[in-house]
A and B are shown apart, each in its own frame.
Chain A
Amino acid sequence: GAVVSQHPSRVICKSGTSVKIECRSLDFQATTMFWYRQFPKQSLMLMATSNEGSKATYEQGVEKDKFLINHASLTLSTLTVTSAHPEDSSFYICSASPRVGGRVMNTEAFFGQGTRLTVV
C-alpha cells in the first residue's frame, strides 16, 4: 500500500526555537497533504491543507505565521513550528491520499508516523 513517511518521530526543543517536520509520500504523488495535531485523549484536528505549488489553506484558529507550511514538490510537505512554546507540545501528523486523474481517490488516507513535539 501507499506509504507516507514523517520525520522526525520525536523532537524536544527549547522554547522560542523553530522546529521543522517533514512529510514525504514515498510511492505516489500527493498534490495535497494534510497536517493534523492531536492533544492527549483528543481527536485529530486538521490544522491546514498543504497544496503543492500554492499557499496552504489553514483551518480557523490556526496561525499561519506560526505554523509555516511549504509544499515544494509532489512528494514533500514541511511544517515549521516557529517560536515554539510549551503549549505547542503535541503530536503532529500528516496524511495524503493517492490521486488518480484529477480526483483524490475515495480511499483511505495514509498517515505518516507522527511527530511528538515537546517544547521545554
Chain B
Amino acid sequence: RKEVEQDPGPFNVPEGATVAFNCTYSNSASQSFFWYRQDCRKEPKLLMSVYSSGNEDGRFTAQLNRASQYISLLIRDSKLSDSATYLCVVSLEGMFSGGYNKLIFGAGTRLAVHP
C-alpha cells in the first residue's frame, strides 16, 4: 500500500465548477499535512497547510480527518489557471537524526479546467 494515495484523475471541469480531491495516508505518526501544486515540468509549490480544524484560503478549503487518515481539498469557482497537478503531502517529524522532517508525496491528482 502506498504511504499517500490520491486519485490520479484527470478531473476535467468547466470554469466555475467546484471540484474536490481526496487523499489518504497510511502512517498514523504523520504530523503535518500539506497540499502542493505542481505545474507541468515545474517544481512543486505550497498551496496550503491542512489543519484538523479545517482551513480556507480564498477559493480553496482543506480538511483533515486524523481518525480516518484522510485529507481533502475543495476548489470553488474553478479558474483556467487552476489547471495543474495537486499533490497531497504528509510530514513525518522529529523521527530522524538531525531533527529534520521527511515529506512523503502522493502521486498527485491532475486537474484540467476548460472554458
Contact = CB atoms under 8 A, between A and B. Distances in A.
Interface in B51-105: 87, 91, 93-94, 96, 98-105
Contact of B42 (A43, A99, A114): A114
Interface string A7-45: 000000000000000000000000110101000011111
21 contacts: A31-B98, A36-B105, A41-B8, A43-B4, A43-B87, A43-B106, A43-B108, A44-B105, A46-B104, A93-B43, A93-B44, A102-B99, A103-B99, A104-B101, A106-B91, A106-B93, A108-B46, A109-B46, A109-B103, A113-B43, A114-B41
B24 to A, nearest CB: 14
Contacts of A102: 99
Sort chain A's interface into a size bin.
20 to 34
Contacts, number: 59
Interface residues of B, number: 28
